[in-house]
Structure 1
Amino acid sequence: MSQNVRVRSRGTLNPTASTDSVDLRHQVFGDNPLEVRDTGHYTHEYVGGIVDRWDELIDWDKRADGEGRFFIEQLRSRGVRTVLDAATGTGFHSVRLLDAGFDTTSADGSPQMLARAFRNGIEHGGHVLRTVNSDWRWLTRDVRGPFDAVICLGNSFTHLFSEHDRRKALAEFYALLKHDGVLIIDQRNYDAILDGESSSGRTYYYCGAQVSARPDHVDEGLARYRYTFPGGDEYFLNMYPLRRDYLRGLLRDTGFQRIDTYGDFQETYADAEPDFFVHVAEKRYREESDLTGGA
């Protein structure tokens, strides 16, 4: 999502940041962080220290071991060559896809994240990332498609706080896909968290041994997470707690024909068990008789 989007917040912003500019040094949540429930506010969150330390949270080597070749195999099994990494972050998946030979374009809403990703691309394999700073709601304005696949990973879709924005973003993803393209999108298992059933101690996504990512506040409209790093540094992210079947419904409404949902990269799982869900949504038109199973 691009930084030229007007940022609104129900809280009072830091005096060093206006609603039209972003303090690139410090996170800004105002006087009441629990009231900050706006899509555009992520531009005040992915700045400064949290960007500098994000790779400590991920731990690239451990994350690669945890997810294995799941995404690469999903893409290769569909003959994918061109990929839009719509939530690049610090570049982990873009670099992995480039290593695997995919023609990859890297987009993100945080210019600081993209700058970090660009440096990471060079440091991890000598890749020069093709980066685009873009808001998902206007993605087709900034990114030239079509692509065989769009990926939106790292729980990023939960930064959209209104259904209107979620539907618009999914429509943009859909429009950038070829007629037989695939969208891979993930989310945290908020069902288990909201229902008080979360028991997963696995860390496939945030693998840094010295870093913790824990809920600071959760209700049906907000999941506020606290990230604590060695040395005592703390940062926060405000996200919308998407329920699994709600997102699957939005994908169907957008026009995706078959949707397979995996729990921590497994086809079968108990509902409360996974830490993350991964949805693999195919655009290719299917007859109704072909839609058994995933959809």
Structure 2
Amino acid sequence: MDNQQNIFYTSISTHYSDIFPFNPKQLSFVTNKLNSLPDKQILDIGCATGQLAFQLAAQGANVTGIDLNEDLLEIANESIPQPNLKFRLGNMLELEADFEAGKLDGVLCFGNTLVHLQELHDMRKMIFAVYNLLKDGGHFMLQILNYDYILKDKVTELPVIENEAIRFVRKYEFVEKSRLVHFKTELHLKKKKETISNETTLFALKSKELKQLLNSEGFRNIEFFSNFNGDAFGGAHLPLVVSCQK
């Protein structure tokens, strides 16, 4: 994670769970793909505050969550201790150095994490490492945004996230003659009446490119969905959810 991204996530870390509360549909999606959770070995890349990892472990999976932001990990480590759950500092470009090959039943990379890598060759390196970490038949599940739609329709503002505690405004600024986008946010803290403004840079990865990357590294049974319910991918929707197997 570059310094810009680290500053961004530190700035919202204490409010992360208010902005992005646990989504039970993610748990159901993972459970369905892995058939069951007890004793499954799972790596959660970009685990943030660990909400999904905690729920997976509570269902019996052995889960390791990694993230590059120490403030998010500090919050994750405040969750109720479980012997089958651990969080650690980890870089998705250094997976093969940190984990043993062929030992994982599932690798997760949700929350638009992949596109924080700003070069296709870095994404290929990460996907190659995931493939090697999985057991035969293991599942790689990831979620980014639907940049086919965002680029085609020049979507410059994502839906506002709002609840009793916060109002989170998210905007995209496209970089001319580039696939990079500046992700600009304003986090309004209602009780404190404060606003935290920040930005980070992402790579607008198209679905065709992602499929080519997965194919080139040997993944099979590649499925694209428009949400964690498993609805068909395509059209004017924001999520892109992917499942594939080694």
TM over 0.5: yes
* 1:50 corresponds to: 12
Q: Which residue of 2 aligns with 1:70?
A: 29
**1:94-173 alignment to 2 at 5 Å?**
94-119=53-78, 121-122=79-80, 126-127=81-82, 129-145=85-101, 146-173=103-130
Distance (whole Å) between structure 1 residues aligned to residue 158 and residue 173 of structure 2: 19
Whether contact under 8 Å (1:199, 1:272) holds in the other structure is: no
Paired-residue identity, %: 22
Q: Is the 8 A contact 1:198 1:273 kept in 2?
A: no
Greater shift in the superposed pair: 99-108 or 191-200? 191-200
Distance 1:270 1:252, change over 3 A: closer
String of CA shifts for 1:189-242, please: whole Å, max 9, x gaps.
111111117599878xx6756322422312442222233222322232321111
- TM-score normalised to the size of structure 1? 0.71
The structure with the greater share of residues assigned to strand is 2
| Cα 1:214/1:84, change in 2 over 3 Å | same
Contact 1:197 1:272 in 2 (8 A): no
CA distance, structure 2, for counterparts of residue 57 and residue 281 of structure 1? 28
Q: Give per-residue Cα distances to partners, 1:136-184, cap 9 Å, x unaligned.
A: 2221111235101111111100011111111111111111101121100
Task: For 2:38 and 2:222, locate their aligned partners in 1 and report how far apart those are by CA, in whole Å.
Answer: 18
Q: Flag the structure with larger Rg.
A: 1
Could you say if the C-alpha distance between residues 84 and 208 of structure 1 is closer, same or farther in structure 2, counting changes exceeding 3 Å?
farther
Q: How many residue pairs end up in the alignment? A: 236
Determine which of 153, 161, 186 is the counterpart of 1:196.
153
Task: Provide TM-score, normalisation by structure 2.
Answer: 0.84
Q: Distance in 1 between matches of 2:159 and 2:148?
A: 16
Amino acid at match of 2:224: T
Q: Secondary structure at the match of 1:137?
A: coil
Answer yes or no: is the 8 Å Cα contact 1:84–1:106 preserved in 2: yes
Q: Which residue is equivalent to 1:38? A: none
Which residue of the other structure, out of 40, 44, 52, is the alignment partner of 1:81?
40
Q: Contact 1:132 / 1:142 at 8 angstroms: preserved in 2?
A: no
- Structure 1 gaps, min length 5: 2-6, 8-21, 23-27, 29-41, 284-295
- Please give the root-mean-square deviation of Cα atoms over the aligned residues, in Å: 2.8
Q: Which one-letter code corresponds to 1:58 in the other structure?
A: F
Q: Which runs of 5+ in 2 are unaligned?
A: none
| Alpha-carbon offset, residue 78 of structure 1 | 9.3
Q: What is the alpha-carbon distance in structure 1 between the residues aligned to residue 180 and residue 57 of structure 2? A: 35
